[in-house]
Each structure stands twice: as structure tokens, then as C-alpha cells.
A and B are shown apart, each in its own frame.
Chain A
Amino acid sequence: MDVMLDIFGSANFWAAAIRIATPLIFGVLGALICERAGVLNLGIEGIFVAGAMAGWLAVYLGAGLWGGVLVAALAGAMFGLLHAVLTVILGLSQHVSGIGITLLATSVSYFTYRTALPSVTSPPRIVPFQPVTIPGLTDIPFIGPALFSQTPLTWLAVALVALVAFVLYRTPLGLAIRAVGDNPASVEAQGLSVRGLRIGAIVAGSALMALGGAFLTMSAFDAFFFGMVNGRGWICIALVVFASWQPGKALLGALLFGAFDAFQIRLQAEIGQVVPGQVFLMLPYLLSILALVLVARKADYPRALLQPWTKGQRH
């Protein structure tokens, strides 16, 4: 019991929870946009790696932090475009294309990193984003360090949640995206382009996914390690179902997950002698599986998700 109070009572815990949640917020938002439009993007794991590597490398080569963020987003958008061409234009299997993109993005990233920095004993580092202090808010005891000392990327993630929600529910574009993921025929019969909407959604979503990776190398840590993404992309795919494809719930889900992960890390520090470390490390993955299993039955899946679609025949 004291252990629990120790953990929850430390401002560091809450700060860590938000920090762990941030890449997931980007990833879940990105996956949500793709799936709302009716396309599953299993390239997310590889796009995380690509965003992490490309963003970091850009900064290392002198582009400045926000330059790195832009490069990461572009890298994600590029792989997203490839996935969109394969699945929307050529109508190929979304599962296989996604896995192919993950393998491609990962191998391209690893090869580029190794080639650019061939002989290193420990990975070179950059100066990452620093926590932003908000006058007034950051000085509040406990709450300040807990909630208001995050880096700009975290604030960007939260802002994007609001932006995506606004676009999805309050603009004609969002309406069209929600419609195309339910019944592409409804969109086509109203004179809109199913392809255009889906390609746009996938590219935008993939750019967001890449930002999740960029956060890892440019904010949470300051270097690129092989295997650093470690399944976060897949966890996002599970969390999207849990979030019912809604941006607000996506934020909530990511934060809950971040809290759980931060909790398990600190718990390990407290009782790690008794229980092997790996048990704690397993918990996030098991939790994701549990979350998915619990909500899958009642989930309001976008009806057209994974359904093959061909335009009313042209020529």
C-alpha cells in the first residue's frame, strides 16, 4: 500500500506517464484517421522507426529540432503514400501491404543509420527538446512539475487531438472521411472521390504516426537505438479499437496506458528483487491484448474497414 502511495504521490510519476503516452497519442491518432477512412495501416511500426531515425538524423545533420520534426512527418507521409497506392489504387491486401511497409521502413531506416554512422561504440546524441515552462502553471506545487513540464511535442500531440476531433466532427472533410469508412458508395454517389479521400487520410495519418517515432529520439531520448520502437506501433493498433476511433478517447487511452507503464516501471524498482524484471516488461503488451479482447465484440468498427472496393467501372 505504501508502495502505491509512494508511486502515485510522486510528481515524477505523472510526468513520466504523460511522456510515455505522447508517442502513443500520435500513433493512435494516425491509425484512427486511416481506419476511419476504411484502411488498416499495419505499416505503423515501421513508420515509427522511420520517423525516429529520419527526424533524429536530420537534427544530427544540422536541421534544427522542428526541421527534424518536419523531416520525420515527410518520411511518414512517403511510406503512407506507398501504402495508399498499393491498397487504394491497386486494391491489394491491406494486411500484406502494411507488413511490407513495416519491413521496408524498418530496413531502410536501419540501413541508412548504419551507413551514415558506420563505426560507433555508443550511439551519438543530439540535444533534444527541452521541457517548456508555462509562466504561472509550471510553478504550482506538485501539479506544475507533474503536468506542465512537458516538451513542445507533447503539447503538439494534445493540440492535434483537438484539431483532429474538430475536423472529423465539424467540417465537411471530416464528414466525408467518416462516410467513406462506412460506405464508399455513399461518397461516390455524392460526387466525391473515394480514392482521393482515402489516400489523403492515409498520408496524413502516416505523417502523424511518424511523429510518434520522432518523439522517441528527439524528446524522450536523444539518440537512435535499434529496436527502440519495440512494439509501440502494434500497441497503438490495439488502442484504436479501445478508443472506439474517437480522438478524445484516444487521448484518454494513451494516457491510461502511459500511467500503467510508468506504474509498472516504478513498481519494478520497488519489488524488482522478488519478481523478475521481464514480468513487468510483459505487462504493457498483455494489457493491450486484454483491452482489445474486452472491447472487440461491441466495437463500432468502420463498416468498410478492410472491405475491397472498386469504383463503378470505368472503361
Chain B
Amino acid sequence: MTKPIPLLSLQNITKRFGTLTANDAISLDLHEGEILALLGENGAGKTTLMNILFGHYVQDEGIVSVLGADGTLAPLPPGSPGAALGAGIGMVHQHFTLAENLSGLDNIRLGTEALLSFGQRQAARSKIANIIAESGLEVDLDRRVDSLTVGEKQRVEILKALYRDARVLILDEPTAVLTPQEAEGLFVVLRRLAANGLGVIFISHKLGEVLAVSHRIMVLRGGRKAGELTTADADRRAIADLMVGKAVAEVKRSRGNPGAPLLSLNKVSLGKPGQHMALHDVSFALKSGEVIGLAGVSGNGQTGIAALISGLAVPDAGTMTLFDQPITRASPRDLVQRGVARMPEDRQHDGVVGTMSVADNIAMEDIRSPGLSRFGLLDRKAMRARAKAAIADYDVRCPGPDAEARLLSGGNVQKLILARVLEREPRIILANQPTRGLDIGAQSEVHRRILAARDRGAAVIVISEDLDELFTLADRFLVIHAGHVVDAGPAETLDRSTIGLLMAGQSPIRETMAS
């Protein structure tokens, strides 16, 4: 049987950023009606490859070809999203590319009509209505995008592509912001679209999802194609090995030994309903020697919890106590000095000052402490010594303590932050998305440090969108939804679907009162 001509063909795509080869001679074919999963760890090169396909980046070598109207493959001019869109390629980016001040309808129309014309709102509206009916992507087109939920915004993004008659749809980590149940809903839509002839490429680092929805899997590792298989024949173990390459020691978590509560929230409320930081009547305690995992879809109030524990906010109602003393005012410095270690969610934005040196960044939280300054004058020798020790201890790869922090890779920035906050042997640790964007080696490193801190008696709370990570680290689970926090209990008693239901705000059956 001759193979049908593919819808899309990438040949020997290579892309380098300085000395880093992000994509190394990768070739890929996509056929009509096929769902191809592009799988790989963070940093494997998946997003780079798709950015080349969509025209955000220009490849250094290789050709992208798309099936034309005449039935043959024609090369796609590189570096132009406009050309990609014209050839029928649509992309749903990981961070949505929507104008929040405009409605869904306007976002979909954007760029589709000649700029110097009067536009066709009505015609657009009816075409989109048809697409919504066919695909099942329900969304209110006239509401401002900033008032839509994350799931609804994603639907607008997909509609954008379908409106432009996309024949190929690329989705970059689409389930990162969805509950397990919402992700299922998305997969239903994707299967329907594929059945209608659409080709789908779906980037993920989550093995389970990939097995659930794809026809074919391509694994990338270190910028190269590590393997390609049909999903039906795929074996979990084999794929995991392809993704990771060498065996990495799995982090083993011993049973925790919870002790006294160190930080507690008692009926804490924050903000107004509907704000992404809002919290209602939240109560929980962080106990020494215990890791609490806070699960939840992003945007349900985790930012509020993080802000409270970081000292960037105080409760509007309820109380917070730290070592049995109430916290009354917001002060990050105060909390730092009392032994609370915080790792920020966005490490480039909130974690380091990129143009200051590694040594400066390591010293930043304690700059006024007697060890690093005296009478307002900096003790640079002490700062350098401390930095050198931390760099060695935490394996922070950098040109030296005086190098600017912005030169460090994501993993090393995270190690710098770990060095900064763990050096002081803190008693309470907030780890917010601690391994986002890190490769598997750096992830284990971070996990090991967190568990070691727990074993020393620290109370740890890990906020993460990655359920696998939480199952690795947590002794006990809390689940947050729409600002309410539910205690799900010890990790041993839980499974993914139970947590998934709680993340969606539904109680699993066993939680209801027995009559």
C-alpha cells in the first residue's frame, strides 16, 4: 500500500542558539486525520520546532513543506506566521496570544481582514457559529477575553485557527492549565476534528495524556529525534526510556514524621470573589517534618496562598500564625528573618535580578544581616565567600560568582534560589512550581533538596500544576478550587482521578456524608 502524501513534512530541521543546538536534523511527517504527539522533557526542543513550523523562528537548516491545493508538497517560506497561516497551519500557544481588551469575536477576526477596509463583522460571526456547531467549542464571543475562564480562552484560541481554515493544528502543552476532566473534554474535540480530516500535532511532556489521545508518538530528547512509534504498539516503559535516555535515580520518599504546626492559616479570606488571588475561609497548618502538596488548576487562588506565605499580602479576614505568633502586617523581610524560605513561581520575574551578579543575588535576602554588611556598608568579601560555597554546594553552573545572573539557565537559576533560601536552614519552605521548565536531572536535584529539608524538620508546602511531582513529594494533599481549600488527606490514600475531581470543585463519592 503506497503511503498517502503527507499534509505536512519537516525535513532535517536544525536550529542553533549560540552554542546550543535546540533542534538537530529533525524530520517529521503529518497525515490528514492524524493526531501526532510530540513528547519530550522540558528543554528537549519541542516548542522550538513548532515555533519554526509556525514561523516565529527561522531554521538554520532544513525545509518545511505543506501540501498545496494541487496535491503536491510545496516549501513554506520561513520566518513568517502570515505564510504559515496562509498555508493552513494554526497554532495554539502555551501562553495564549489573545488581546484581553477585545472580545472573542474580535480576537478571531484580528488579521483576517484587509487593514484598510471596513471589515465584515456579521459574516465573521456566522462563519464562526458554524465552526462552533461542528466542533463543539462553546464560548461566548462577545465577552471581553479578560473575563473568560482559562478553558474558554483556549477555545477561542482553537477557533482562531479553525476560522482561518487550518488544516494543521498545533497545540503547545494544552493541558497545563486544565483539570483532568477538562483535558478529557479537549481530547474529545481533537478526536472529532481529526475525524474531519484535520492534522493535529500536540506537544506534551505528560505520558499518560499522550497515550490517551494520539495515533502516533514522536519522542525528542536533547534536540534530536529519539524515537517514533504508533501509540497502539507503544509501551510506557519504552517511551519513558526514550524520553529520558540514561536512567535517572528515582527520588524515593520515605514516610514523613509530622510534628508541631509551624505556620497556620485559620479561616483566612483574601480579596474579592472572582479575583485570581481570592481565598475564602481557608484553614490549614504546615507541620514540621511534613510536605504538603497543594494541587489545583492555575488561577484558582494559589497566587493568594503564595502571596500570604511570602509576606506580600495579609488576610482580609481570619488569622495567620507563625511559630504561635500572629502575623499582622505584610513584610517579606520579616518572614525571611524569621526563617521562612520562599521560592517564587516565576523565577526570572520575581526570583533574581538578572543584571546583578550571582553573588549579589545569593546575598539579596540577607543583605542587612551582620554577616554580609556592617553599619550600612557591604562586606563584599563575605558575600563572595558565601557565594562560592553555595555555588559548590548546590552545583550552580555559572562562569563565577561575579557573573550576571541572567547568563544562567533556568535550572541553574532555580539552584541559585535554592542555595539562597536553604543556606539558612529555614523551618518553613514554600516551593512554588519548583521544577517548571527544568530538565529531568535538575528536577531530581530539586526534589532531593526539598525532601532533605523535610527530613531535617522543615515544614514544606509545594504548589504545583504537575500531579506527578506532587505525588513524588507530598505526604499530604490539599486541593484548591475557586479560592476554597479542601484537605484531601494522606497521599497514600489518594489517586489522580480523586484529586482531579477535587481540582474541578466536585467532591469524590467517598467524601459525601454517609446517611
Which of A172, A186, A191, A314 makes the CB contact (< 8 A) with B107? Answer: A186
Bound CA span A172–B117, Å: 7
Describe B's contact surface by its main secondary structure: loop
B82 in contact with A191 (CB, 8 Å): yes
Which residues does chain A contribute within 8 Å of B200, judged by CB atoms?
none
Which of B99, B113, B116 makes the CB contact (< 8 A) with A186? Answer: B99
A182 in contact with B57 (CB, 8 Å): no
Which of B80, B93, B119 makes the CB contact (< 8 A) with A171? Answer: B119
Interface status of A271 (Cβ within 8 A of chain B)? no
Which of A175, A178, A187, A313 makes the CB contact (< 8 A) with B57? Answer: A313
Interface status of B51 (Cβ within 8 A of chain A)? yes
Q: Interface readout for A183-226 with B: 1 if CB under 8 Å, 0 if not?
A: 10111111110000000000000000000000000000000000
Q: Interface readout for B108-145 with A: 1 if CB under 8 Å, 0 if not?
A: 01111111111100000000000000000000000000
How many chain-B residues does the 8 Å CB contact rule pick out?
A: 37
Interface status of A249 (Cβ within 8 A of chain B)? no
A188 in contact with B119 (CB, 8 Å): no
B97 in contact with A186 (CB, 8 Å): yes
Interface status of A300 (Cβ within 8 A of chain B)? yes
Q: From known contacts A312-B51, A313-B57, A314-B79, infer whether A175 and B119 are also in contact, taking CB-CB under 8 Å.
A: yes
Which of B54, B58, B109 makes the CB contact (< 8 A) with A315? Answer: B58
CB distance from A245 to the nearest CB of B (A): 10
Interface status of B85 (Cβ within 8 A of chain A)? yes
Bound CA span A171–B109, Å: 11
Interface status of A297 (Cβ within 8 A of chain B)? no
A179 in contact with B102 (CB, 8 Å): yes
Bound CA span A185–B95, Å: 10
Interface status of B347 (Cβ within 8 A of chain A)? no
Interface status of A176 (Cβ within 8 A of chain B)? yes
Bound CA span A178–B102, Å: 8
Which residues does chain B contribute within 8 Å of A314, judged by CB atoms?
57-58, 79
B58 in contact with A172 (CB, 8 Å): no
Q: From known contacts A190-B81, A312-B51, A312-B56, infer whether A172 and B99 are also in contact, taking CB-CB under 8 Å.
A: no
CB distance from A174 to the nearest CB of B (A): 9
Which of B57, B100, B110, B119 makes the CB contact (< 8 A) with A312? Answer: B57
Which of A171, A182, A191 makes the CB contact (< 8 A) with B111? Answer: A191
CB distance from A302 to the nearest CB of B (A): 8
Chain B residue nearest to A179 (CB atoms) is: B99
Interface status of A173 (Cβ within 8 A of chain B)? yes
Interface residues of B in 471-505 (CB under 8 A from A): none
Which residues does chain A contribute within 8 Å of B102, judged by CB atoms?
175, 178-179, 182
Q: From known contacts A186-B97, A189-B91, A315-B58, infer whether A176 and B119 are also in contact, taking CB-CB under 8 Å.
A: no
Bound CA span A66–B97, Å: 44
Interface status of A266 (Cβ within 8 A of chain B)? no
The bracket for how many chain A residues form the interface is: 20 to 34
Interface residues of A in 288-315 (CB under 8 A from B): 300, 302-303, 312-315
CB distance from A183 to the nearest CB of B (A): 5
Interface status of B106 (Cβ within 8 A of chain A)? yes
Which of B93, B95, B106 makes the CB contact (< 8 A) with A175? Answer: B106
Bound CA span A300–B100, Å: 11
Which of B56, B100, B115 makes the CB contact (< 8 A) with A173? Answer: B115
Which of A189, A303, A313 makes the CB contact (< 8 A) with B100? Answer: A303
Interface status of B160 (Cβ within 8 A of chain A)? yes
Q: From known contacts A188-B81, A190-B160, A312-B56, infer whether A175 and B100 are also in contact, taking CB-CB under 8 Å.
A: no
Bound CA span A188–B79, Å: 11
Which of B81, B112, B115 makes the CB contact (< 8 A) with A189? Answer: B81
Bound CA span A73–B80, Å: 34
A-B pairs with beta carbons under 8 A, tally: 94
Which of A175, A183, A302, A313 makes the CB contact (< 8 A) with B109? Answer: A175
Which residues does chain B contribute within 8 Å of A300, judged by CB atoms?
101
A186 in contact with B79 (CB, 8 Å): no
B101 in contact with A182 (CB, 8 Å): yes
B115 in contact with A176 (CB, 8 Å): yes
Which of A171, A183, A192, A312 makes the CB contact (< 8 A) with B98? Answer: A183
Which residues does chain A contribute within 8 Å of B113, judged by CB atoms?
172
B112 in contact with A190 (CB, 8 Å): yes
Q: From known contacts A179-B102, A186-B110, A303-B100, infer whether A191 and B85 are also in contact, taking CB-CB under 8 Å.
A: yes
Bound CA span A185–B99, Å: 8
CB distance from A12 to the nearest CB of B (A): 42
B98 in contact with A190 (CB, 8 Å): no
Q: From known contacts A191-B80, A313-B57, infer whether A178 and B101 are also in contact, taking CB-CB under 8 Å.
A: yes
Which residues does chain A contribute within 8 Å of B56, judged by CB atoms?
188, 312-313
B81 in contact with A191 (CB, 8 Å): yes
Q: Interface readout for B50-78 with A: 1 if CB under 8 Å, 0 if not?
A: 01001111100000000000000000000
B79 in contact with A176 (CB, 8 Å): no
Q: Interface readout for B36-58 with A: 1 if CB under 8 Å, 0 if not?
A: 00000000000000010011111
Q: Which of A171, A172, A176, A300 neighbours the largest number of chain B CB atoms within 10 Å of its CB? A: A172
Q: Interface readout for A153-176 with B: 1 if CB under 8 Å, 0 if not?
A: 000000000000000001111011
A179 in contact with B110 (CB, 8 Å): yes
Which residues does chain B contribute within 8 Å of A190, judged by CB atoms?
81, 85, 97, 110-112, 160
Q: Which of B58, B97, B117 neighbours the largest number of chain A CB atoms within 10 Å of its CB? A: B97
Which of B57, B82, B109 makes the CB contact (< 8 A) with A172? Answer: B109
Which residues does chain A contribute within 8 Å of B80, judged by CB atoms?
191
Bound CA span A187–B95, Å: 14
Apart from A186-B99, A192-B115, A303-B101: 14 A-B pairs, beta carbons within 8 A:
A171-B115, A171-B117, A175-B109, A176-B111, A178-B99, A178-B102, A179-B102, A185-B97, A186-B98, A187-B110, A188-B56, A189-B93, A192-B111, A314-B79
Q: Which B residues are within 8 Å of any A CB, using their own CB? A: 51, 54-58, 79-86, 91, 93, 95, 97-102, 106-107, 109-119, 160
CB pairs A–B below 8 angstroms (6 shown): A175-B106, A175-B110, A178-B101, A179-B102, A183-B98, A187-B99
Q: Which A residues are within 8 Å of any B CB, using their own CB? A: 170-173, 175-176, 178-179, 182-183, 185-192, 300, 302-303, 312-315
Closest 10 CB pairs of A and B: A312-B56, A190-B111, A191-B82, A179-B99, A189-B97, A172-B113, A182-B99, A185-B97, A173-B115, A186-B99
